[in-house]
Amino acid sequence: MESYQHGDQAAAHALVDLLSGRLCAFFSSPMGSRAQADDMLQEAWLRLHQARHTYRPGEPVLPWMYAIARRVRVDHYRKRRRIELREVAPEGLDNVAGQASPASEGPTFVELIAPLPESQREVLTLLKVHGLSIEEVARATATTAGAVKQKVHRAYDRLRALLAGAETAAGGPS
Amino acid sequence: MTCREVESLILPYARAAEIPPEAAAHIAGCASCGGLARMLAKRDAAAGPSPAGLARIKAEIAGGLKPVKPLAPASVLAGAYLLIAALGAAAGVFELGTAGWHALGGTQASAVFLALAVSSVALAVLLARQMAPGSRVLVPAPWIVLGFPVVMGAIFATLFRAQPEALFVATGLTCLRIGLECALPVAAVCWLVLRRGAVLGERTAGALAGALAGLSGLLLLEIFCPNLNAYHVLAWHLGAAVVSTAAGMAAGMAAGRIGR
């Protein structure tokens, strides 16, 4: 990252190779298309490049990167929502079920945590899918480590309740 | 071991294989924790970026690749914000005088200026951290933005005598105007410094800049205005700081919308 700041092209390319997979996974969602994820990836790299001077040597890179990527995603959703409000959606365009995983594979992690509120879903995904530490998630989401822990515990409580409900429904009379 | 303790143990681990043995023993015997652990261990196969897309990104980056100087340390930036706020108040004091400083009692002056100093340092540090994405957050910004008027209000209500005033609005509006006239240039200069970083939360940054500028106005009013009536100080001196914070937040939101 420091070599990138010094204008080293090889370091910049290595960083793009190293981090784009993580960014792509971050932007992929069951409700979004591949093209949207690619657009967000490109936009994220543009912003990361413009903000590369704000990375302080010695600080962790991932929270810096995810904080900017998170903002790209928020802006993208807001823009998409504005467009959707103005347009009449053709039938089936937002058919999430059509893009969901095949029944044989079972629900994906993203589908499993879909009933959670956005803030809980976000920290759980960063923690469990992207492998960030609690401190890194706190930095990326501009909050405290204590707040992250609280959100995760609330998410766990909700997931336990959902699991218990699903088991009751499965075991109950049909 | 309780289910809550298991949650705390598995919380930092992204992979099921990394779960500590003591938690694993509980998970094996607990249906709820077992279901939760299975859910969290599930992995989605994420599609990677396309080679063409990566090549395009690399070409774009290579086109604008120049050496950049990393942002100054947060402590230096916080110092710069404090200096801006202090200079703003000092310019006002130079023009208007120090009648308020001489009217204040020892306890009143100590409490007011200590609270102003602590609040200003906290706001300046938070403002400096807004400039670098992924900075550590020790105290959430809303706590400080909402907390400083409460603390200052409590000090004014406790240490200043409240009494009815004949020209409450007329004299008050003068103080409000002076406070805001001091805050406006301070906020503008703070915003110019903020723009050197990559602000992701414009609303928060705007509120912090507005609050710091408002404190600069409040400092000027406490040094200049000899009116120690609690009603006057609470409504118009502290009011100037609150209005400045709200205006900063609104300006930040507007800047965020324009930026998008």
For the stretch A65-78, pLDDT in tens is 999 999 998 888 88
Helices (H), B30-73: 31-41, 51-63
Q: For A13-18, which contacts have Cβ atoms below 8 Å and span 24 or more sequence positions?
A: A13/B58, A13/B61, A13/B62, A16/A45, A16/B54, A16/B57, A16/B58, A16/B61, A17/B54
CA distance to partner chain B, nearest, from residue A63 (Å): 5
pLDDT digits (tens, 9 = 90+) for B34-90: 777 777 776 656 667 788 888 888 888 887 788 888 899 999 999 999 999 999 999
pLDDT at B6: 74
Q: What is the pLDDT of residue B220?
A: 94
Helix (H, G, I), strand (E, B) or coil at A26: helix
| Token code pair at residue A76 | 């993208």
Which residues of chain B are within 8 Å of residue A49 when distances are taken between CB atoms? Answer: 60-61, 64
pTM of the model: 0.82
CA distance B6 to B30: 10
Contact A41, B68 (CB under 8 A): no
- In this predicted model, what pLDDT tens digit does every residue of A158-171 receive, in sequence order? 888 887 777 676 66
| Secondary structure (3-state) at B84 | helix
Instruction: Residue window 45-104, chain B: list those with CB within 8 Å of chain A.
Output: 46-50, 53-54, 56-58, 60-62, 64-71, 73
pLDDT in tens, B230-245: 999 999 999 999 999 9
Contacts of B61 in chain A (CB under 8 A): 12-13, 16, 45, 49
- Out of B7, B50, B69, closest to residue A153 by CB: B7
Q: Which letter does DSSP use for residue B167 in this model?
A: T
Closest CA to A143 of B128, B131, B138, B133: B138
Higher-confidence residue of B127 and A26: namely B127
On whether the CB atoms of residues B236 and B179 are closer than 8 A, the answer is yes
Q: Which residues of B touch A57 (CB under 8 A)?
A: 70
Give the percent of chain A with pLDDT over 70.
Answer: 79
Chain segment B131-173, per-residue pLDDT in tens: 999 888 888 888 989 999 999 999 999 999 888 888 889 889 9
Contact B54 A42 (CB under 8 A): no
| A103, containing H or E segment | none
> Do A68 and A48 form a contact (C-beta atoms < 8 A)?
yes
Question: Which residue do the tokens 């949650």 mark?
Answer: B7
Nearest CA in chain B to A71: B200
Nearest Cα to Cα of residue B213 among B130, B72, B92: B92
| B27 — pLDDT class (breaks 50, 70, 90) | confident
pLDDT score, position B243 = 95
B59's CB contacts (< 8 A; 6+ apart) are none
Query: CB-based contact (8 Å) between B161 and chain A?
Result: no
Burial (CB count <10 Å: 0-12, 13-18, 19+), residue A145: middle
